[in-house]
Every structure is written in C-alpha cells, then in structure tokens.
C-alpha cells in the first residue's frame, strides 16, 4: 500500500511540452489510492486538455478564477484558490516551467495556479522541465535556490533528449520517478522511519488431536490495527499472528502466520533482537494439552479429561532478555484490574501495559471498539474513553512515540 493512499494531491500543470506526461502522473496518483485535483495555467491547456485530466482525476479541472457551473453554462462560478490550497495535503507542480518558477520565487500571482501556490499551507513539490540552456541559466538557478529556501521541494530534472532536439539536463523527471520521490520524501519524515516493530496478534490454537484444538475468541483486530498505525508512522513491522480472518496489505508490514503458542514463541524470538519496539497484543493460550493425540479421539466414557501444561509466557521471556527494546504488553482482566495489570507490568519487566477490562461495555474480543487504560513503568495511569480499535491503536503509538522520544 502506498503512503499516498487517501492523501489529497493537487497537481499543478504549467505550459511545457512535458505536460503530456502529467496525465500519466494523475493515473499513478490515483492508482496509489490518492484523491487528485488538477489546477492548470491557462497556457498549459495548449499541451494537454482539461477533459483528459478531469476524466483521469475524476474531478473538475480548474484553470481560471472564474469557471462555468455544470448546470448552466451561462452561470459563472468562482474557483476558490484558498479552498483548493486548504484541501490539498500535497501540491505537486509538474511540469514547472522557468516562467512559473520565476513567478513563484517572486510572489507574482497572475493566474489561479500561482494564487493556489501562495495560499497553500501543505508541502509543495515542483518538477522543473525546460530546455538545456534555460535550465542552466543563472536566473533559473536563482529560482531553484529561492524556491527551495522557502521550503518547497525540487524534484530534479533528468538528462536526455529534449523537445528542442538538444541533449542534456532539463527533462522533467518521469512520472514513476516523481511518484517514488514524493513517497520516499514523506516516508523519510515519518517519526518511526528506520524503526522495526514486532507485534503479536490474534489467538493461538493448541491442538488436542488432528481435528480439535483449544482456542479463544480473539479476532486479532486490535493487533492488526496497531500494525497499521505503526506502519503509517513509517515503522517496518513484523506482525506475528495466530489464526484470524484479518488482512492487511502494506509494503511495510510482514505478516508471519502461526498456530500455537509454541510457534508464536519461536517466531517472536527470531525477530526480537533486531526490533526496537515489541507490542504483544495476542491472546496466547496459557495452557496446552500435555499430549496431542495422533488420531482423532473417539467418544467413549461420559466424561473426558485432558491434561494441560503451561505454555511458555512469550512476553515474560522477552522481558528477561530485553536490552534497549521498548516492551509493551496487554492485560485482559475481569476483576482487580489495575492491581493485576500493574503486577504484570512489573513481573514481565515491561515499559508499558495496556489494560482491557472485560467489565467495560464495548471492550475486549470480537468488537471493533475498545476501552483501555495505559499504565507506564513510571506508574502514570492514562484512562481513555470507549474508542474504535483504530483510534486506540493510534493513541497507543503516539504514547509510545512520546515515551521513546522517537
Ligand atoms: N502473553 C504471552 N504469552 C503467554 C501468555 C500471555 O506473551 N503465554 C502476553 C499477552 O500477549 C499479553 C500479556 O502476556 O500481552 C498478558 O496476557 P494475559 O492473558 O492478560 O495475562 P497472563 O500473563 O496470561 O496471566 P492471566 O491469564 O493469569 O491473567
């Protein structure tokens, strides 16, 4: 999943021959899951049509301060540049001609694209495109310097054959390269960029015989939401999950599927040493059958007893070997909740514990909400309202960021 998913991208197009490539850029942004709107300089319409761009972006294209309403061509509507600027999470100007860059650098505002630029509060990227000598000209270099000094990000032009027939620097970066430049730039700024987070989720199944197991009602939703929240902050996530129906597609999350507590223990220990943070939200079985029958157990007597033995406590084992890792556990309690959770925080050598009380309505297994209390190793107790598991996961990640000063 691209980091651009659900982002509002405003694409600005200026009058260069490379404008024909902007149509492809719209397609790539849409494919990445972004919402796209296009603003054009009037002259750029000579190079690519608004119809192409509005069809690809699924939004009206704006190139003048005053537009026509759809209902009645005689009615004029005001294209609000401030609204467009505020709507955008990113403003990408591609191609950016020498003329437009010089105007941007000097605060000139004689078309709607420039008005949007002056009112936009979001990050602005610009991809220059022009002929070799124009690119090298001292005034163009001055524009680059000024624009980057204002905080705008330049997507450098490539080298190759130019529309004039000359060969050299000045070709607009290819749409694929523009996309990956922006994705990388956003990822590089995320607070958990470069961090590895290990997460456990879901139940475990402890086999009784080839067809039966001991399990629990955990859906895995909480752990998957935490994995999503962590990867949205740029972390590389290893998600060790017991059997669930949850899915998550992100190129930052690697899902390792396991079945039993023993499998989960082994998989977690493969990754713990190289992790910066570990969050164990799985509902691991505390006991497993001492012997697993190799054949299906036949029904005989009116009662049937299975001998159980303790599973390994994965969280506790990590607390015993942790070095610099920030270790987070969950506690699911029905009574004396705070006391039990604090006890687990200490006995398992944790930095933070997330307490779920099954007495709270809307908390726990099989629901999409949760009501949790965070308890830190410094004994700070942070109570929360009933929230969606998505929000709980975001709150948890923000608290971890605070605690680890990441
Ligand atoms: N946990 C674990 N391995 C186990 C049991 C639990 O890693 N074999 C982890 C859970 O993922 C959770 C935390 O330990 O983060 C606490 O789990 P919980 O079931 O609340 O507590 P237990 O330690 O199992 O104690 P009890 O069931 O007696 O309350």
Average pLDDT, consecutive stretches of 10 residues, N- to C-terminus, the chain (406 residues): 91 97 98 97 96 96 76 62 89 98 97 95 96 94 98 94 85 97 94 96 98 96 96 95 92 95 98 98 98 95 96 98 97 92 97 89 78 96 94 97 87
Reported as half-sphere exposure (CB side, CA atoms, 13 A), residue 12 has a value of 30
| CA–CA dist 292, 167 (Å, integer) | 72
* Any ligand 1 atom below 6 A from CB of 332: yes
* Any ligand 1 atom below 6 A from CB of 313: yes
Shared domain for 321 and 387, answered yes or no, is: yes
Shared domain for 276 and 162, answered yes or no, is: no
Model confidence, pTM:
0.80
| CA–CA dist 238, 232 (Å, integer) | 14
Give the strand pairing for 387-388 and 369-370. antiparallel
Among 216, 266, 349, 384, the one annotated catalytic: 216
* Cα–ligand 1 centroid distance for 83 (angstroms): 50
The verdict on residue 221 lying in a domain is yes
pLDDT of amino acid 365 = 75
The verdict on residue 155 lying in a domain is yes
Domain end (from 137, 157, 189): 189
Shared domain for 93 and 222, answered yes or no, is: no
Domain end (from 189, 211, 227): 189
Domain end (from 189, 220, 242): 189
The verdict on residue 177 lying in a domain is yes
Shared domain for 53 and 99, answered yes or no, is: yes
Task: Please state the domain count of the chain.
Answer: 2
Top mutation candidate among 222, 286, 340, 347 for ligand 1, by most atoms within 8 Å of CB: 286
The verdict on residue 1 lying in a domain is no
**CATH, residue 184:** 3.40.50.1950
**Pair of tokens at residue 256:** 């390792």
Shared domain for 350 and 389, answered yes or no, is: yes
For the question of residue 106 being annotated catalytic, the response is no
* Any ligand 1 atom below 6 A from CB of 280: yes
Shared domain for 32 and 56, answered yes or no, is: yes
pLDDT of amino acid 74 = 58
* Any ligand 1 atom below 6 A from CB of 331: yes
pLDDT of amino acid 72 = 53
Range of the domain at 35: 8-189
Shared domain for 82 and 212, answered yes or no, is: no
* Any ligand 1 atom below 6 A from CB of 314: yes
**CATH, residue 338:** 3.40.50.10300
* Any ligand 1 atom below 6 A from CB of 330: yes
Top mutation candidate among 202, 269, 313 for ligand 1, by most atoms within 8 Å of CB: 313
pLDDT in tens, 54-98: 999 999 999 998 775 444 555 566 777 778 999 999 999 999 999
Closest ligand 1 atom number to CA of residue 261: 8
Shared domain for 181 and 200, answered yes or no, is: no
Shared domain for 173 and 227, answered yes or no, is: no
**Pair of tokens at residue 373:** 């209390």
């Amino acid at each position: 999943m691209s980091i651009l998913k659900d982002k509002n991208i405003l694409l600005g197009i200026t009058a260069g021959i490379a404008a024909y490539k902007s149509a492809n850029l719209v397609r790539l942004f849409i494919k990445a899951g972004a919402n796209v709107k296009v603003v054009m300089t009037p002259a750029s319409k000579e190079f690519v049509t608004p119809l192409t761009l509005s069809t690809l972006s699924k939004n009206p294209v704006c190139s003048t301060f005053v537009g026509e309403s759809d209902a009645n061509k005689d009615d004029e509507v005001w294209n609000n540049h401030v609204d467009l600027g505020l709507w955008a999470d990113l403003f990408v100007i591609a191609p950016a001609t020498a003329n437009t860059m010089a105007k941007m650098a000097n605060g000139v505002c004689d078309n709607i694209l420039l008005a949007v630029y002056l009112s936009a509060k979001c990050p602005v990227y610009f991809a220059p495109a022009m002929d070799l000598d124009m690119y090298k000209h001292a005034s163009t270099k001055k524009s680059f310097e000024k624009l980057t000094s204002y905080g705008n990000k330049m997507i450098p032009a490539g080298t190759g054959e130019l529309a004039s027939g000359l060969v050299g620097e000045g070709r607009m970066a290819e749409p694929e390269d523009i996309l990956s430049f922006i994705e990388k730039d956003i990822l590089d700024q995320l607070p958990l960029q470069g961090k590895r987070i290990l997460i456990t989720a879901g139940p475990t199944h402890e086999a009784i015989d080839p067809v039966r197991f001991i399990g629990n009602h955990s859906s895995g939703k909480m752990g998957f939401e935490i994995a999503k929240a962590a990867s949205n902050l740029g972390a590389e996530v290893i998600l060790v999950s017991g059997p669930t129906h949850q899915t998550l597609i992100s190129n930052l999350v690697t899902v390792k599927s396991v079945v039993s507590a023993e499998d989960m223990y082994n998989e977690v220990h493969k990754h713990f040493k190289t992790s910066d943070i570990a969050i164990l939200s799985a509902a691991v079985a505390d006991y497993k059958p001492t012997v697993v029958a190799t054949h299906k157990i036949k029904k005989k007597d009116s009662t049937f007893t299975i001998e159980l033995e303790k599973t390994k406590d994965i969280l506790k084992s990590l607390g015993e070997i942790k070095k610099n890792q920030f270790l987070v556990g969950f506690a699911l309690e029905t009574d004396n909740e705070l006391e039990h959770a604090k006890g687990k925080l200490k006995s398992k050598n944790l930095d933070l514990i997330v307490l779920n009380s099954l007495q709270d309505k809307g908390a726990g297994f099989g629901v999409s909400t949760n009501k949790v209390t965070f308890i830190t190793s410094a004994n700070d107790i942070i109570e929360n309202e009933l929230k969606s598991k998505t929000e709980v996961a975001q709150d948890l990640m923000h608290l971890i960021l605070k605690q680890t000063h990441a």
